[in-house]
Chains A and B, each alone.
Chain A
């Protein structure tokens, strides 16, 4: 099992907080990798909220390729953080040339694009870069999106964060998602590391999606270029959410109804029975299976947690107004917020979606048996 930790806080905080929490939960991961997503950024990125930020790992050669490519497209650098890790790396962490976080100015003509077109073009750039880096492994690109930084690396989470010196003021953020990886595959591919990101939507999972292959086939056949990759069975969780939000225009409350729909019995008295039954049929190929705890983040910076149909994985949400933590285990939550009101901690069960919106005032619990927002089913 992997371990998950996510926090949303009015006060910007450092990735080290997340790494320490993962370290407390170390019994649940083997230190084979860590993935970080930082959003609602502060520091220098605070003033660059609209500028797309590219995150990735590059060799010196890859960096040159990147510059040529981006220049041709008309992107200019606005700000960058380049992390060169000290040599030699501690055992278990590979030696890399550069971890790059670079905010760009859009090419001139992009300013006239609709937001949808811009989102699709950003996605295309990311996929192109990923493809360009594939052959020689000189570019690994995690995200290219405004107000978003991603770092993934092999090794023990705390060691990686300390070794790369990620505890720095440029990398303070109000939303951080982090996964400590338990390797269940033999070769570790950084593209298989959580969180997974697509156009402002990110998810990470502790689990195993046994319905992966049919879901992958379904998503791949939607004709959307972003539904690709799938080095990990968990990547589909992000894409299903993306599909539901962007393609179907459904709110987060509907996500759980897509991945783990209610049974006939449970639906019997539901006020939105007709809609839900149709949704279950039409989205049947997106039903997930197996044990999964999913933590995700939406473009509006809301964090959420859902569980699989049988609630086979641990997961807890706790905190106080202004600061909330989503964690695989209570000890991870305790490590960060020992002084919260523990009686208000919540462990989402098989029907729940726990949501903390960007105002960070409360944990909103949405049960599948409740009625859906009116607009949906009209």
Chain B
């Protein structure tokens, strides 16, 4: 370094960054693809100077120097351009000449990615790859006292209910009297969690909708998908495929103008309406769609101007109390569809979940409760919310379930768990564990992006730039140059693969437990864990 170089506090070197680029001069053909593809513009063309010492043989001539230059790639060190480890450079390099490597110690970038006083924002999940769900084992195995079932040959009933289920006495009475019985949907217990049109690219959305339709109409799995907060494309609203869609309404009410206007023209009812009060990734904070992604189409669907950030308020502004939120909002949503569509709230897991649950239990029509744990994903949020706010899902769902058991309403108000399911790839095992802890079903979004579209994000902070619209896979971008990378047909196909394999794995779990006639909701006697305190906390078996 030259003595007069100005070093600012945020002047970083490559070593200070979380991801460092290993570039191989000998393999590089200088094609420039890596620099072109890099979403962070982290790579630039570099001219390197090289001194070559040429000592001649013998003593006659003195040694000589020559100075050469060569071309290559250099990694930028400005915080805005720091490599995020996405690996796209590696993907496009014809010669495998480049690869991001994770630093061997805590990086220094973390102290500087708040330039201009704006804290770090990003997408993805909480940066913590561990979790309790993977440690739960299924320990009750049928063998001789009752024959194990055959996951491949026996028939399994694995659907679940979404909707307010009345107690049997009341249901039979209303049937006799031909009274109103709340609508209940029989759906597949793995729900594609709310990822909005806007957060996701049009190709990703299209692919997911196609996949869901195929699963329902060709495979026979009644899979449903939540829209997230961002409305729904007008043609989908007026199509017969709306029945596979859960319309989400959240505090920004984005897209609801369009939905309300489409009401008279809807051919079928949506599967359900989800009122989002909270999200596991950023509890207590509203949705966020950053300006980068608000293009003409998104602006039209959401009914907003182009190119402005869209932060939803942290709470529904018109509601000042839980009773009001539960009663008024649920009721008005029910009313909008003539009491034919189940309406339920989604909250972020919190130590106050039980209070919400109890209010819902007293409300006669609330159709369920979705709880999103701290490991839930998001398209955009403040890093501090993602990494530090929220409640783990396992104990939250367990407490809620056991509370329902106590008041005898465990069949009446279905609980749906979300947040970190399949975080380490074990989707079916995590889902089954939560179901046996008491969830009626699970929601996942991030896993779907990873499995169906090849999302590169990870909990060791790889990529996670979904918020700025430069998703290198075209999953969370509104830039046609990027989202054209994603073929909707292929997304649909991968989604079907994902659900089929999930279904097989779920059967491989429930069959040895001797369960096939119904989804084993609350079958906690099948669960064990090698941590005494966790076992106590979750009321499951302690096994070592």
Contacts and interface: CB of A to CB of B under 8 A. Distances in A.
Interface of A: 184, 207-208, 210-214, 217-218, 221-223, 243, 247-250, 260, 263-264, 275, 278-279, 281-285, 287-291, 308-310, 312, 377-378
B358 to A, nearest CB: 15
B147 interface: yes
A267 B347 CA distance: 36
Contacts of B513: 210
B516 A248 contact: no
Interface residues of B, number: 40
Contact of B523 (A213, A260, A281, A283): A213
Interface string B522-536: 111100000000000
B167 A288 contact: no
B175 A278 contact: yes
A172 B411 CA distance: 44
A283 B172 CA distance: 11
B90 to A, nearest CB: 48
Interface in B165-186: 165-169, 171-172, 175-176, 181, 184, 186
A291 B147 contact: yes
Contacts of A287: 517-518
B154 A310 contact: yes
B137 interface: no
A310 B522 contact: no
Interface string B75-93: 0000000000000000000
B422 interface: no
A378 B522 contact: no
Interface of A is mostly: loop
Given A213-B523, A221-B406, A263-B155, 5 more contacts: A221-B410, A281-B161, A283-B168, A285-B410, A290-B146
Interface of B: 140, 142, 145-147, 149, 154-155, 157, 161, 165-169, 171-172, 175-176, 181, 184, 186, 405-408, 410-411, 513-518, 520-525
Given A260-B517, A289-B516, A310-B154, A221 B142 contact: no
Contacts of A283: 168
Contact of A184 (B145, B147, B166, B171): B145
Contact of B517 (A207, A309, A377): A309
- Give 6 nearest A-B pairs by CB, closest first: A221-B408, A210-B514, A208-B146, A282-B171, A287-B518, A214-B522
A264 B221 CA distance: 12
A133 to B, nearest CB: 28
A321 to B, nearest CB: 35
Contact of B171 (A278, A291, A308, A309): A278
B162 to A, nearest CB: 11
B525 A213 contact: yes
B145, B186, B407, most chain A CB atoms within 10 A: B145
Contacts of B149: 310
Nearest to A247: B169
B515 A285 contact: no
Contacts of A378: 176
A221 B517 CA distance: 22
Given A208-B514, A214-B522, A289-B515, A278 B181 contact: yes
A275 B175 contact: yes
A78 B181 CA distance: 51
Nearest to B411: A285
Contacts of B175: 275, 278, 377
Contacts of A377: 175
B179 to A, nearest CB: 12
Contacts of A281: 161, 165, 171, 184, 186
Contacts of A222: 408
A208 B145 contact: yes
Given A214-B520, A290-B142, A310-B516, A282 B166 contact: yes
16 contacts: A211-B517, A212-B525, A213-B522, A217-B405, A218-B411, A221-B405, A221-B407, A260-B517, A263-B157, A279-B168, A282-B172, A282-B411, A284-B518, A289-B515, A289-B516, A290-B515
Contacts of A248: 168-169, 172
B367 to A, nearest CB: 13
A288 B171 CA distance: 20
A221 B112 CA distance: 56
Given A281-B161, A282-B411, A211 B145 contact: no
A227 to B, nearest CB: 11
Contacts of A208: 142, 145-146, 514
A373 to B, nearest CB: 14
A210 B154 contact: no
A181 B141 CA distance: 22
B35 to A, nearest CB: 56
A309 B516 contact: yes
A211 B171 contact: no
B156 to A, nearest CB: 10
